[in-house]
Amino acid sequence: MQSIAGFGFSLFAIATLIMLDYSLPEAVILSTFGSTIQRCIGVAALRRSVDWSTLAPLIFLGILVIPIGIWLLYSLSLQEKLFVGQVFGILLIVTLTIRSFFKITVQDKIHWCWGYLAAFFSGILNGLANIGGPPLVLWIQAQRWTTEKKRVSILLFTLSYVPFQFIYLYMGFGNIFPKILTVGFFSIPTLVIGTFIGLAIGKKVSDKLLRVISYSILMVLGFFLILNPLIGQTK
């Protein structure tokens, strides 16, 4: 999904892992582990386009508020799995709706407060479910930047969160780390294979069609998670 459409790794991974009966903390840890590999590759390839003077203070703010997201994650982890799935399904659909219907106009100058607001919500969402990208996209896409600078800015933001996110996740859910990181380690080959398959598909299919397919798959997953408790009651 990430290689085909340029986004969606955590959205797709967490939704499917929840349906496979992983808890939300387990799904978030696995998603963070897997997405980190892709982020490292992307930042390394586009490192010359990084604007440190603009991004550094915003990244710092995002890191500061990650614990709020971790606290929300911990609170959700105490709820029933079906309810957790519904919450994530709603998050998934809201995220896709914002990306689909909010028209971003490129501007020469954007008030500084929008960047800090995007970083604030990005840090919280990253702590909650490793989905800190969507708030950043709204701000970054409005910038008159090159494509490479926009791509690396999102990757660098979320990659910078990872060490702190893992520390907080370990503090809250250390008992599940050995099992989940073992699963993550053995999933590396499938992650790499999936990345190359996505890149190959991306070269042969138009961007517009790829986005329609990706959004459709994620929307179906979101509605399934929301309706899953009702589906279970009808069986």
Give tens-digit pLDDT for 90-105.
Answer: 888 888 887 777 777 7
Residue 178 has pLDDT above 60, yes or no: yes
Residue 47 predicted with pLDDT over 70: yes
Q: Which of 82-86, 167-171, 192-196 has the lowest mean pLDDT?
A: 192-196
| DSSP three-state, residue 46 | coil
User: 143 - beta bridge partners?
Assistant: 107
How far is residue 141 from each of residues 106, 144, 155, 185, measured CA to CA in Å? 7, 8, 14, 34
Whether the Cβ atoms of residue 222 and residue 131 lie closer than 8 Å to each other: no
Is 157:58 a contact under the CB 8 Å cutoff?
Answer: yes
Residue 92: what pLDDT?
85
pLDDT band at residue 235 using 50, 70 and 90 as cut-offs:
very low
Does residue 184 have a pLDDT over 70?
yes
Instruction: Give the pair of three-digit tokens for residue 99.
Output: 């990306």
pLDDT band at 207 (very low <50, low <70, confident <90, very high): low
Q: CB–CB of 125/131 below 8 Å? A: yes
Which pLDDT score is estimated for 116?
95
Structure tokens, 51:
């604007």
Q: What is the mean pLDDT of residues 43-67?
A: 90
Q: Is 184 left (phi over 0), alpha (psi -120 to 50) or beta?
A: alpha
Residues 6+ positions from 189 with CB-CB distance below 8 Å: none
Strands in the chain per DSSP E = none
The average confidence (pLDDT) of the chain is 84
Q: Residue 234: pLDDT above 70? A: no
Q: Can you tell me the distance from the alpha carbon of 60 to that of 52, in angstroms, rounded to the nearest whole number?
A: 12
**Nearest CA-CA partner of 18 in 170, 186, 178, 221:** 221
The whole-angstrom distance between residue 13's C-alpha and the CA centroid of its chain comes to 9
- Report residue 8 as tokens: 């969606």
Q: State what percent of residues in the chain have pLDDT above 70.
A: 93
Residue 199: per-residue pLDDT: 67
The answer to whether 159 and 36 are in contact (CB under 8 A) is yes
- Model pTM above 0.75: yes
Dihedral (C-alpha) 151, 110, 101, 14: value to the nearest 10 degrees? 40
**What is the average per-residue pLDDT within 189-214?**
76
